Structure 1
Amino acid sequence: MTPEKLVCLAAIAGVHGVRGQVTVKTFTEEPESVAAYGPLQDEEGNSYRLNLKGQKKGMLIAEIEGVKDRNAAEALKGTRLYVTRDALPPPEDAEEFYFADLIGLEARDREDNSLGYVSAVYNFGAGDLLELRDEDGGERMLPFSRDVVPDVDLDRGRILVDPPPETEAGSGPEDEEKNAPEA
């Protein structure tokens, strides 16, 4: 039996004041919606009910049920807060996916060769990247774009990958110009 997929909606970033309030960094499209999912849980399964009080520098200020002082709030700093995947609504657009739905999908190329499994999804600011891990433990990163991943089939548990050609150092277009014979 596989455990339910958890989706991280927020993280406790710090404390606010002396009465146990915390600042919360959310990963939801609308920050205030984080409280609409009911109690959130941490990795150990502890439950946290948020009562939103305001905003501060792009983060929410919240009270957590049962947390009454600064020391208790400070102990929660860095705690990531999750819901189970089935608590989230389905994406409105067929071209949108929750990262949690992509992790674990098998990656296959156009010749139906296995390229491994999606082990993580990242976004460092320049677009989404899929991390693929093969059966030997090798890893590679691919852009999650229509060109590189033309098909995502959640029902079959796989993605079609058309990887960009591998390039070697010194073989890019700018190097060809440098190495071209002079006329």
Structure 2
Amino acid sequence: MTETVCVGAIAGSYGVRGEVRLKSFCADPEAIAEYGPLTGDNGASYSVTLTRPIKNGFAARLGGVATKEEADALKGVQLFAPRDRLPATEEDEFYHADLIGLRVVDTGGTEIGTIRAVMDHGAGDLLEIKGPGLKNTVLLPFTRACVPTVDLAGGKVVADPPEGLF
């Protein structure tokens, strides 16, 4: 498990007074302000104050950012919170960061590949799997039927993919 988890990203500036457009990746989007100070992938630390909801996120003030130019320069910066500040997960609930990099084996124990990403396009999560015998990545539905076992301690998931997927 990682020591930090990506909880949001800066999408650019908002207005002319140094506010930023903030995308929250949290289950409760407003909770991103409670996990601060957040560390950017640029190495800087930011306190976060949400000022108002806007389309696709929030307008926010970040500590140390006072001008539109400073806010513009932060576009694309990902924000991370220490894992111990985040709420504990419930049974059958996982942080995406914990799943990425896990080995994927089939129900017979044969290694299929590793999880490269977890995607959610609205109809449920998909695991992007890259494997040694695969020309392209494969998207596996992250459901109890297709992934009956997640073993974080063992560093693997057991997959029962639909026929013909691999």
- Shorter chain as denominator, the TM-score bin is 0.7 to 0.9
Instruction: Give unpaired runs (5+ residues) of structure 2.
Output: none
Which residue number in structure 1 is paired with residue 20 of structure 2?
Answer: 22
Deviations 1:34-72 (A, max 9, x none): 011111122232212112222223522211111111111
Deviations 1:100-119 (A, max 9, x none): 11111111111111111111
Which residue number in structure 2 is paired with residue 35 of structure 1?
Answer: 33
Structure-2-length-normalised TM-score: 0.88
Which residue number in structure 1 is paired with residue 55 of structure 2?
Answer: 57
Which residue number in structure 2 is paired with residue 120 of structure 1?
Answer: 117
Give yes or no for contact 2:39–2:81 (8 Å, CA) kept in 1: yes
Structure-1-length-normalised TM-score: 0.80
RMSD in angstroms over aligned alpha carbons? Answer: 2.0
**Structure 1 residues 5 and 115: CA distance shift in structure 2, 3 A:** farther
Deviations 1:8-50 (A, max 9, x none): 2111123222221112111112222101111112223221211
* Structure of greater Rg: 1
Give yes or no for contact 1:106–1:158 (8 Å, CA) kept in 2: yes
Structure 1 position 90 matched with structure 2 position 85: no
Quote the Cα distance in structure 1 between the aligned partners of 2:100 and 2:33: 25
Structure 2 counterpart SS, 1:97: coil
- Richer in strand (by share): 2
**Structure 1 residues 56 and 141: CA distance shift in structure 2, 3 A:** closer
Highest RCO, 1 vs 2 (Cα 8 Å, sep ≥ 6)? 2
Deviations 1:74-112 (A, max 9, x none): 111222211243432221x21111111111111111111
Give yes or no for contact 1:85–1:100 (8 Å, CA) kept in 2: no
Structure 1 counterpart SS, 2:65: coil
Instruction: Give unpaired runs (5+ residues) of structure 1.
Output: 168-183
Quote the Cα distance in structure 2 between the aligned partners of 1:155 and 1:17: 46
Letter in 1 for 2:23: K
- Which of 6, 9, 14 is equivalent to 2:7? 9
Which 4+ residue blocks in structure 1 deviate beyond 4 angstroms? Answer: none
Give yes or no for contact 2:39–2:79 (8 Å, CA) kept in 1: yes
Q: What's the CA shift for 1:5?
A: 5.0
Task: Identify the range of structure 1 (153-162 vs 39-48) with the bigger mean alpha-carbon deviation.
Answer: 39-48
Give yes or no for contact 1:5–1:100 (8 Å, CA) kept in 2: no
Q: What's the CA shift for 1:4?
A: 3.9
